[in-house]
Chain A
């Protein structure tokens, strides 16, 4: 168990809908990262938050947004969903910039 909790584990939704993925980082970790894993794109970095502030942005679509709350949990919002958004979405957290990141079990999103 990495200590990073993601909910829900599975999500099936229709095109055009909006969903929210939730992540609770390890106790004490200030950095939260979101990644998307699909078969053809591998592991793509989406966005990073550090202590409530956005720190880095990757290949995140405008239809996607995220935030980190004062209690350090984070949410990834995906809207106007398309079939191509079907993927595994991972959250990870870390304490310091040079250290390893710990990953949650992921949320498998299926858009039908």
Chain B
């Protein structure tokens, strides 16, 4: 069965510093991987996806993610964090039937 894991419940970063939110996956076959962000009392917003091709995927709001097949990871990164990046981040994998399976989420807190 397809699954993703987000090993950190919370990540704390100072504004201006680089940030990484971790995700590992377990799939059979080629993975279709996604990152979403959720602001308080809002729906999930799509950030980026990996289907095939370059291992470094660029997405919205300056975020990027690095696909690493040997480590089965798909970490979300941003070179310089903003206070407004503080939110709940979800990694997801699409299964063979099409539905998204989400990790437990990581709360990102960026302090000034």
Residues of A within 8 A of B (CB): 2, 4, 31, 33, 35, 42-43, 45, 48, 50, 55-56, 58, 90, 92, 94, 97-106, 108
- The count of chain B contact residues (Cβ–Cβ below 8 Å) is 22
Q: A42-B104, A100-B34 are in contact. Are A94 and B98 (CB under 8 A)?
A: yes
Contacting residue for A103 out of B43, B51, B97, CB 8 A: B43
Is B102 an interface position by the 8 A CB rule?
yes
Q: Is the interface of A mostly helix, strand, loop or mixed?
A: strand
State whether B42 touches A98 (Cβ < 8 A): no
- Taking the closest CB of chain B, its distance from the CB of A20, in whole angstroms, is 19
Query: Which residue of B is nearest A43, CB measured?
Result: B102
State whether A2 touches B45 (Cβ < 8 A): yes
State whether B32 touches A106 (Cβ < 8 A): no
Is B82 an interface position by the 8 A CB rule?
no
Question: Complex Cα distance A4/B45, Å?
Answer: 11
B27: chain A residues within 8 A (beta carbon): none
- Taking the closest CB of chain A, its distance from the CB of B88, in whole angstroms, is 10
Contacting residue for B32 out of A2, A4, A55, A98, CB 8 A: A98
Q: A97-B94, A100-B34, A100-B49 are in contact. Are A45 and B99 (CB under 8 A)?
A: yes
B34: chain A residues within 8 A (beta carbon): 100
Return 24 A-B CB contacts under 8 Å, by A number: A2-B43, A2-B45, A4-B43, A33-B99, A35-B102, A42-B104, A42-B105, A43-B105, A45-B100, A45-B101, A50-B98, A55-B97, A90-B43, A92-B100, A97-B97, A97-B98, A98-B51, A98-B94, A100-B46, A101-B46, A102-B46, A103-B43, A103-B44, A104-B43
